[in-house]
Amino acid sequence: MLKNMYQKIQNNQRITSDEGLTLLQKTPLLELGELASIVRYRKNPKPQVTFVVDTNPNYTNVCTIDCIFCAFYRHPGEDGEYTYTVDHLIQQFKESAAKGVTTVLLQGGVNPNLPFDFYLELVRRTRKEVPEIYPHFFSVSEIVGMSEVSGLSIGEVLQQLWDAGMRSLPGGGAEILSDRVKKKISNKKETADLWIDVMRRAHKIGYKSTATMMYGHIETEEEIIEHLERIRSLQNETAGFTAFIPWSFKPGNTPLEKIIPHYASPTRYLQILALSRIYLDNFPHVQASWFSEGKKIGQVALHFGADDFGGTLLEENVHAAANYVSKTNTEEVIDIIRQAGFIPVQRTTLYEIVKVYGN
Amino acid sequence: MWSKINFNDIALIPIWQKLQRGERLSLEDGLILYKTNDLISLGKMAQYVQRQKNGDAVYFVLNQKIEHTNVCVLSCKFCDFAKKKGEAGAYEMSTNDILSKITPEIKEVHITGGMPHDWQWERYLEIVSSIHQKFPDADVKAYTAIEIDFFHKKFKMSIEEVLRQLKEAGLKTMPGGGAEVFSERVRRLLFNQKVGEKVWLDVHKTAHRMGIPTNATMLYGHIETIEERLIHLIKLREAQDETSGFLTFIPLAFQPGETGIKPRNEYTSAIDDLKTIAISRLMLDNFPHIKAYWVMLTEEVAAVALNFGADDMDGTVGEEHIAHDAGALSPMKLAKENLIKIIKDAGKIPVERDVFYNPLKIHGENLIGKIPYLNSVPIYHYLNSEDFKILPVTPRRLGVLFKQGTVVAGLISLIDYFEQEENLELMKWCIAARDQVQSVVLFSKYEWKNLAGKTIGVIDDTSTSVKLLEVILKKKYGVTASLERMKPNNYQNYSAVILIGDEALKNLKQSISGFEFRYDLATEWFDWQKLPFVFAVFAVSKGLSQDLKNLIQHSIKESLTKGKNNLEVIGSNHGRTLGYTSKETKEYLEGFNYVLGEREREAIEVFRNIVGSK
**Using one digit for the tens of pLDDT, what is the confidence trace for A21-59?**
999 998 999 999 999 999 999 999 999 999 999 998 999
First vs last Cα of chain A: how many Å apart? 40
* pLDDT confidence of residue B49: 93
Count of residues in chain A: 359
Helix, strand or coil for residue B45? helix
| Whether A335 and B265 lie within 8 Å, measured CB to CB | yes
Q: Which of B6, B303, B338 sits opposite A34 (nearest CB)?
A: B6
Residues of B with CB below 8 A from A26's CB?
386
Helix, strand or coil for residue B384? coil
Most confidently modeled range among A269-273, B548-552, B575-579:
A269-273
d(CA A166, CA A148): 20
Helix, strand or coil for residue B533? strand
* pLDDT confidence of residue B573: 83
Chain A interface mutation, best of B34, B39, B341, highest count of A Cβ atoms under 10 Å: B39
B339 and B379 fall within a common domain: no
Q: Domain coordinates of chain A in residue numbers? A: 16-356
Is it the case that residue B467 has pLDDT exceeding 60?
A: yes
Residue B214's CATH number? 3.20.20.70
User: CB–CB of A222/A186 below 8 Å?
Assistant: no
Tens of pLDDT, residues A318-339: 767 666 666 778 889 999 999 9
DSSP secondary structure, A109-136, as one string: ---TTS-HHHHHHHHHHHHHH-TTSEEE
Q: Within chain A, how many helices (H) and strands (E) appear?
A: 15, 11
d(CA A301, CA A248): 13
Average pLDDT for B32-47: 97
Is it the case that residue A208 has pLDDT exceeding 60?
A: yes
From B101, B87, B89, select the one nearest B130 (Cα to Cα): B101
Query: Which of B300, B326, B361 delimits the end of a domain?
Result: B361
Average pLDDT for B250-260: 78
Residues of B with CB below 8 A from A34's CB?
5-6, 40-41, 44
B274 and B380 fall within a common domain: no
Average pLDDT for B446-451: 93
As a whole number, the mean pLDDT across chain B is 89
B355 and B429 fall within a common domain: no
B260 and B407 fall within a common domain: no
* pLDDT confidence of residue A299: 96
Q: For residue A102, give how far its alpha carbon lies from the nearest alpha carbon of chain B (Å).
A: 27
Residues of B with CB below 8 A from A41's CB?
8
d(CA B111, CA B91): 15
* pLDDT confidence of residue B262: 61
Residue B391 located in a structural domain: yes
Residue B2 located in a structural domain: no
B237 and B344 fall within a common domain: yes
The number of domains in chain B is: 2
Average pLDDT for B495-513: 85
Q: Give residue ranges of A with CB < 8 Å to any B CB.
A: 1-2, 6, 26, 28-31, 33-34, 37-38, 41, 47, 262, 265-268, 270, 293-297, 299-300, 303-304, 335-336, 339-342
Residues of A with CB below 8 A from B281's CB?
none
Average pLDDT for B180-203: 87
Query: Which of B361, B389, B422 delimits the end of a domain?
Result: B361
Residues of A with CB below 8 A from B384's CB?
none
Tens of pLDDT, residues A88-133: 999 999 999 998 999 999 998 888 899 999 999 999 999 999 999 9
Residue B287 located in a structural domain: yes
pLDDT: which is higher, B110 or B76 = B110
User: CB–CB of A257/B337 below 8 Å?
Assistant: no
Q: For residue B27, give how far its alpha carbon lies from the nearest alpha carbon of chain A (Å).
A: 22
Q: Which of A30, A294, A336 sits opposite B40 (nearest CB)?
A: A30
Average pLDDT for B469-481: 93
Residues of A with CB below 8 A from B346's CB?
29, 265, 267
Q: For residue A230, give how far its alpha carbon lies from the nearest alpha carbon of chain B (Å).
A: 26
Q: Which of B271, B301, B345 sits opposite A340 (nearest CB)?
A: B271
Average pLDDT for B445-452: 93
Chain B interface mutation, best of A269, A271, A296, highest count of B Cβ atoms under 10 Å: A296
* pLDDT confidence of residue B249: 98
Q: For residue A320, give how far its alpha carbon lies from the nearest alpha carbon of chain B (Å).
A: 17
B382 and B302 fall within a common domain: no
| Whether B307 and A30 lie within 8 Å, measured CB to CB | yes
With CA atoms as reference, the chain A residue closest to B385 would be A28
Task: Determine how β-strand A343-347 pairs with β-strand A48-52.
Answer: parallel
* pLDDT confidence of residue B328: 45
Residue B5 located in a structural domain: no
| Whether A265 and B274 lie within 8 Å, measured CB to CB | no
- The whole domain housing B481 covers 365-614
Instruction: Compute CA distances B94 → B68, B163, B407, whole Å.
Output: 8, 22, 45
| Whether A335 and B40 lie within 8 Å, measured CB to CB | no
Residue B535's CATH number? 3.40.190.10
Is it the case that residue B267 has pLDDT exceeding 70?
A: no
Residue B546 located in a structural domain: yes
Average pLDDT for A56-79: 86
d(CA A185, CA A178): 11
B321 and B390 fall within a common domain: no
B381 and B286 fall within a common domain: no
Residue B1 located in a structural domain: no
Helix, strand or coil for residue B114? coil
| Whether A265 and B342 lie within 8 Å, measured CB to CB | yes
Query: Which of B339, B361, B383 delimits the end of a domain?
Result: B361
Q: For residue A169, give how far its alpha carbon lies from the nearest alpha carbon of chain B (Å).
A: 31
Instruction: Compute CA distances A179 → A174, B42, B85, B373, whole Å.
Output: 11, 41, 65, 53
Q: For residue B539, give how far its alpha carbon lies from the nearest alpha carbon of chain A (Å).
A: 25
| Whether B346 and A267 lie within 8 Å, measured CB to CB | yes
With CA atoms as reference, the chain A residue closest to B341 would be A265
Is it the case that residue B119 has pLDDT exceeding 50?
A: yes
Q: What are the residues whose beta carbons fall under 8 Å from the beta carbon of B75, sequence distance 6 or more?
A: B82, B193
Residues of A with CB below 8 A from B40's CB?
30, 33-34, 37, 303-304
At B321, is the pLDDT very low, low, confident or very high (cuts 50, 70, 90)?
Answer: very low
B349 and B454 fall within a common domain: no
At B1, is the pLDDT very low, low, confident or very high (cuts 50, 70, 90)?
Answer: very low
Q: Which amino acid is at A148?
A: E
Chain A interface mutation, best of B40, B265, B299, B343, highest count of A Cβ atoms under 10 Å: B40
Q: For residue A137, give how far its alpha carbon lies from the nearest alpha carbon of chain B (Å).
A: 32
Q: Which of B40, B269, B300 sits opposite A34 (nearest CB)?
A: B40
Superfamily of A16-356 according to CATH = Aldolase class I (3.20.20.70)
B287 and B434 fall within a common domain: no
Residues of B with CB below 8 A from A268's CB?
345
ipTM confidence score: 0.91
